[in-house]
Amino acid sequence: MDKINQKGQTMVEYMLLLAVSISLIFTFINSDFFKRMFGEEGKIGKFVKSENQFAYRHAFLRNRQEDIARENRDGRAHPSYYRPSGETRFFGAKLPYP
């Protein structure tokens, strides 16, 4: 009989610990600090979004080179296609097609 009571008490303690942990997590998520850093207009969120957009568009990270104007459609100016020496990153046929 004594073992059954111990198991029940352990279960209650774990449930209370889980409830306290969840309430602490929700308190942190709803805090002004969290919203200021990670929210819709948060500092970290804006930075990560702009870096990811730049890396997706240019195929390299922002700190390596300057941005290219969106109006520029010339592939030779795009560093993801051509190296500064003028050669391309891509391969093609050595001989022209017949």
Residue-range definition of the domain harbouring residue 26: 1-30
Tell whether 57 and 18 lie within a shared domain.
no
Count of domains forming the chain: 2
What per-residue confidence (pLDDT) applies to 40?
Answer: 77
Tell whether 52 and 85 lie within a shared domain.
yes
Q: What global pTM score does this model have?
A: 0.44
Euclidean distance between CA atoms 74 and 72, whole angstroms:
6
Q: How do residues 11-50 score in pLDDT, each as one tens digit?
A: 899 999 999 999 999 999 999 988 888 887 788 888 888 8
Q: Distance from CA of residue 15 to its chain's centroid?
A: 33
Q: What are phi and psi of 82, to 5 degrees?
A: -125, 145
What per-residue confidence (pLDDT) applies to 69?
Answer: 67
What per-residue confidence (pLDDT) applies to 20?
Answer: 97
Tell whether 25 and 49 lie within a shared domain.
no
Q: What are phi and psi of 88, to 5 degrees?
A: -90, 160
Per the domain annotation, does 94 fall within a domain? no
Tell me the three-class secondary structure of 51-72, residue by residue.
Answer: HHHHHHHHCCCHHHCCCCCCCC
What per-residue confidence (pLDDT) applies to 70?
Answer: 64
